[in-house]
């Protein structure tokens, strides 16, 4: 197997909670709490899970838009999480982000050309002519008419604005792009346009994607492997077809069973796993398995001990006592298999 381009180990991102007049730290939101995975060159890793489970925080911590609490993020051989500011600045061009809301992520007072060219101003010493040429090239690549270069974002539709965001992300020839819900704000009929564009660009430019989404059907279309997150942790990470054919983690099973399918015949016979209650707060996750409060298959051990993410079948990583117990053939030491077994305590006081 090739070396992964992105190697994440035991990544944690805890946001402090302050209270009182003295703004003392009274706890932490464990938005990401010990996450490990690899992304191989040229592949798309889907990251799915419900809102608040920590997907965006993973994406941001990977690109060091947040300072991770602990853990490592090795991209192209360098640990982003600990890189000195200067080295980080040099690294920035190789890793980029496409955001959910094209409206909010584009400066309304800048022209399209200025928005797309901004990274060039920051990271190159090219002259205006060369920059303009690159901006045009990027507009061609994402299917934006060059004639619109001097228009402003509000003059574009949602799908076109997302193209502007993608062109900007491509400006510096990145190798790795975090796409954070890039189609969530778009209409169904426009989503396919943007997804096809992302796929074309990947083929043409050899890009590697982390594709964050809560749309499980779309992730099945675009991803090679899929990580399912729940409450700051990965419940299951499996190759796409294996996951959709037979999810192993009880949360992955419930999640997939809840997705409605656009086929009345299928829907009429669908057996849904209806989860009870709501997701616990990441400031106060349950002891043991973080899914134990809602898991339909919970056993006493789940409330005591945190299951670790382990390879239960070749290439399939699951964090569940039941799955691990049934398939004790795990063995091997493929990635991502770090030993993560601590912190069962609640709400970490300081």
Please tell me whether residue 24 binds another protein under the rule CB under 8 A: no
The C-alpha atoms of residue 259 and residue 244 are separated, in whole angstroms, by 11
Please give the Cα distance from 97 to 224 (Å, whole number).
19
Residue 64 CB, shortest distance to Mg ion, in Å, is 17
User: Nearest distance from residue 264's CB to another protein, in Å?
Assistant: 5
Q: Are 248 and 318 in contact (CB under 8 A)?
A: yes
Minimal distance in Å, beta carbon 315 to ligand ADP? 24
Task: Tell me which of Mg ion, ligand ADP, another protein, none is bound by residue 57, counting a contact when its beta carbon lies within the kind-specific cut-off of 5 to 8 angstroms.
Answer: ligand ADP
Q: For residues 126 and 244, which CB has a smaller minimum distance to another protein in the complex?
A: 244
Q: Closest CB to another protein among 157 and 346?
A: 157
Interface with another protein by CB under 8 A: which range of 68-76, 254-262, 298-306, 315-323? 254-262
Under rule CB under 8 A, which residues in 165-194 are in contact with another protein? 187-193
User: Looking only at residues 113 through 172 of this chain, which bind ligand ADP when binding is defined by CB under 6 A?
Assistant: none
Q: SS3 for 162-213, per residue?
A: HHHHHHHHHCCCCCEEEEECCCCCCCHHHHHHHHHHHHHHHHHHCCEEEEEC
The burial class, CB within 10 Å (0-12 / 13-18 / 19+), for 30 is buried
> Residue 29, interface with ligand ADP (CB under 6 A)?
yes
- The answer to whether 23 touches 202, Cβ cutoff 8 Å, is no
Site map (CB under 6 A) of ligand ADP, residues 35-74, x = contact: --------------x-xxxxxxx-----------------
DSSP assignment letter at 147: G
**Apex 251 CA angle, 248 and 256, nearest 5:** 80
Tell me the H-state helices in 231-277: 240-245, 250-258, 264-269
44 phi/psi in degrees, rounded to 5? -115, 120
Measured from the CB of residue 124, what is the shortest distance to ligand ADP in angstroms? 31
Cβ distance to ligand ADP smaller for residue 233 or 238:
233
Closest CA to 110 of 161, 179, 183: 161
- State which of positions 267-306 bind ligand ADP (CB under 6 A): 282
Q: Name the segment binding another protein (CB under 8 A); options: 107-115, 124-132, 133-141, 273-281.
A: 273-281
Q: What are the two backbone dihedrals, phi and then psi, of residue 297, each rounded to the nearest 5 degrees?
A: -110, 15
| Maximal C-alpha separation, the chain | 67
Judged by CB under 5 A, the residue of 13, 33, 40, 56 near Mg ion is 56
State which H helix or E strand residue 225 sits in: strand 225-230
- Answer for which of 26, 83, 172, 259 binds another protein (CB under 8 A) is 259
Applying CB under 8 A, which residues contact another protein? Answer: 50-51, 157, 159, 187-193, 195-196, 199, 214, 216-218, 220-221, 244, 254-267, 270, 272, 274-275, 278
Q: Applying CB under 6 A, which residues contact ligand ADP?
A: 15, 29, 31, 49, 51-57, 282
């Amino acid at each position: 197997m090739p070396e992964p381009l992105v190697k994440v180990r035991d990544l944690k991102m805890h946001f402090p909670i302050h209270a009182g007049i003295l703004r003392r730290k009274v706890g932490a939101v464990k938005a990401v709490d010990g996450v490990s995975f690899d992304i191989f060159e040229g592949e798309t890793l889907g990251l799915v899970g419900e809102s608040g489970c920590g997907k965006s925080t993973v994406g941001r911590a990977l690109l060091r838009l947040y300072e991770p609490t602990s853990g490592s993020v090795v991209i192209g051989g360098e640990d982003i999480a600990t890189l000195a500011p200067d080295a980080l600045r040099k690294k920035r061009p190789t890793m980029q982000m496409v955001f959910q809301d094209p409206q909010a992520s584009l400066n309304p007072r800048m022209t399209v050309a200025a928005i797309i060219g901004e990274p060039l101003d920051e990271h190159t010493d090219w002259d205006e002519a060369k920059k303009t040429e690159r901006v045009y090239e990027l507009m061609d690549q994402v299917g934006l008419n060059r004639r619109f270069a001097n228009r402003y974002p509000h003059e574009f539709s949602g799908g076109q604005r997302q193209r502007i965001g993608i062109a900007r992300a491509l400006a510096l020839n990145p190798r790795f792009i975090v796409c954070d819900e890039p189609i969530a704000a778009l209409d169904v009929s426009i989503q396919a346009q943007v997804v096809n564009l992302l796929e074309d660009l990947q083929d043409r430019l050899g890009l590697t994607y982390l594709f964050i989404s809560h749309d499980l059907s779309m992730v099945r279309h675009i991803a090679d492997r899929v990580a399912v997150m729940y409450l700051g942790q990965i419940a299951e990470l499996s190759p796409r077809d294996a996951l959709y054919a037979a999810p192993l983690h009880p949360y992955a099973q419930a999640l997939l069973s809840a997705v409605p399918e656009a086929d009345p015949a299928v829907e009429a016979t669908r057996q849904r796993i209806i989860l009870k209650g709501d997701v616990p707060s990441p400031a106060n996750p349950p002891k043991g398995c973080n899914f134990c409060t809602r898991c339909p298959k919970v056993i006493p051990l789940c409330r005591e001990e945190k299951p670790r993410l382990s390879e239960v079948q070749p290439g399939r990583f699951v964090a569940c006592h039941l799955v691990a117990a049934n398939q004790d053939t795990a063995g091997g030491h493929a990635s991502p298999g770090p030993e993560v077994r601590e912190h069962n305590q609640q709400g970490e006081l300081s």
